[in-house]
Amino acid sequence: MRETTRDKTLLRLRDSVVQTKALFEGAKEEFERASDLQRDLGQAHADGTLAHATRVYTYALHYYRTAIFRYSRYLLDGRLPEDEQPEPDRANE
């Protein structure tokens, strides 16, 4: 069975969701560890770990939400955002 451009795009978008979810979950765990450490040490021992973990967590959440949005929009509308158009299917040339 021949994979269509739509199938390839769906696979690529789904893979993006899976990858960004894994990054988000790792960032969430690190944020929780940094929060626990900050709580244990108290505010007087701030070393920037929590701030860094917060930034990483925020970026990971943003990329995860974007991947989910793109996948969902493609499933519902059959279109990608203009900045992410598929390459032409060269199998028919």
Tens digits of residue pLDDT in 29-88: 999 999 998 888 876 666 788 899 999 999 999 999 999 999 999 999 888 876 665 444
- Give the Cα separation of 11 and 7 in Å (integer): 6
Which tokens sit at 70?
């793109």
Residue 73 has what pLDDT?
92
- Give the Cα separation of 9 and 12 in Å (integer): 5
| Inside any domain, residue 57 | yes
Residue type, 4: T
| Inside any domain, residue 44 | yes
| Inside any domain, residue 91 | no
Question: What tens digit of pLDDT does each residue of 18-36 get?
Answer: 999 999 999 999 999 999 9
- Give the Cα separation of 53 and 30 in Å (integer): 6
> Structural domain of residue 38, as residue ranges?
5-81
| Inside any domain, residue 90 | no
| Inside any domain, residue 14 | yes
Residue 61 has what pLDDT?
97
| Inside any domain, residue 49 | yes
Number of domains, the chain: 1
